[in-house]
Amino acid sequence: MTAQRIAILISGNGTNMAEIIKAQKRGGLDADIAIVISDNPDAPGLRRASGLDCSILAVPYAPGRTREENESGIIQAIEQNGVSWIVLAGFMRILSADFVRRYPGRIVNIHPSLLPAFPGAHAIKDAFEAGADITGVTIHIVDELVDHGPVIAQEEVPILPGDTLDTLETRIHAVEHRLYPKTLQALLSEDI
Ligand code: GAR
């Protein structure tokens, strides 16, 4: 059977993306990473992906355009690359309902909280400032709502008495980096 092809969508550092690529290279993820796409041409993650020998594409987000117009270049790249799974790894744009409906059950997202708690772009800070005892990481299938859809993996991360936002972020990212490649492998091999 030919390997399933993945597009990874990023906006920033791309540390989760890099862990997914590294897992694939060492045989821990049975898929082809077809392309890494960023809405931000300056995303450090694009350089990181190049350094890992991945094809990259910047589809710069233009504020004056509709969501659908901004997504058309992404859709084109997905279609041209024969992609069957879309993996969001710190992609910070809200996808249009049309985009989500085009790939039903085929878009996966990682979010740094125990959803439904603390959705949005600043989940780690929001949990920290709310004085929560526990936060964590959620991996889910994307539906038409923001940071929403069937959960496929979740792991708790306690917020410890001496934690700063930095120490908490470091522990959450460490969980993300372990959990995302492992969960994608289970999902693609139909273990979930
Ligand atoms: C990750 O913590 C991811 O969970 C989060 O952005 C970060 C990206 O880091 N995503 C969201 O907040 C989505 N709502 P990375 O670019 O280093 O992988």
Contacts of 144 (CB under 8 A, 6+ apart): 97, 100, 101
CA atoms within 13 A on the CB side of 82: 6
Is the distance from the beta carbon of residue 136 to the nearest atom of ligand 1 less than 6 Å? no
Return the residue whose CA atom lies nearest to atom 7 of ligand 1.
90
- Whether 1 shows a pLDDT value over 90: the answer reads no
Token digits for 164?
A: 């700063």
Check: pTM over 0.75? Answer yes or no.
yes
Residue whose CA is at the smallest distance from ligand 1 atom 11: 111
pLDDT in tens, 31-58: 999 999 999 999 999 999 999 999 999 9
Taking residues 85-110, report their average pLDDT: 97
Distance from the alpha carbon of residue 24 to the mean position of ligand 1, in angstroms? 20
1 alpha carbon – ligand 1 mean position (Å): 32
Residue 147 Cβ contacting ligand 1 at under 6 Å: yes
| pLDDT averaged over every residue in the chain | 96
Q: Where do the domains of the chain lie, and which CATH numbers do they carry?
A: 4-188 (3.40.50.170)
CA of 44 from ligand 1 middle (Å) equals 13
pLDDT digits (tens, 9 = 90+) for 122-157: 999 999 999 999 999 999 999 999 999 999 999 999
Question: Which pLDDT score is estimated for 2?
Answer: 74
Indicate if the pLDDT at residue 191 is higher than 80: no
Distance CA 78, CA 188 (A): 17
Summarised one tens digit per residue, pLDDT across range 110-120 is 999 999 999 99
Quote the distance between the C-alpha of residue 10 and its chain's center.
7
CA neighbor of 183 nearest in space, from 81, 127, 111: 111
Check if 44 has its Cβ closer than 6 Å to any atom of ligand 1.
no
Q: Is 100 in the pocket of ligand 1 (CB under 6 A)?
A: no
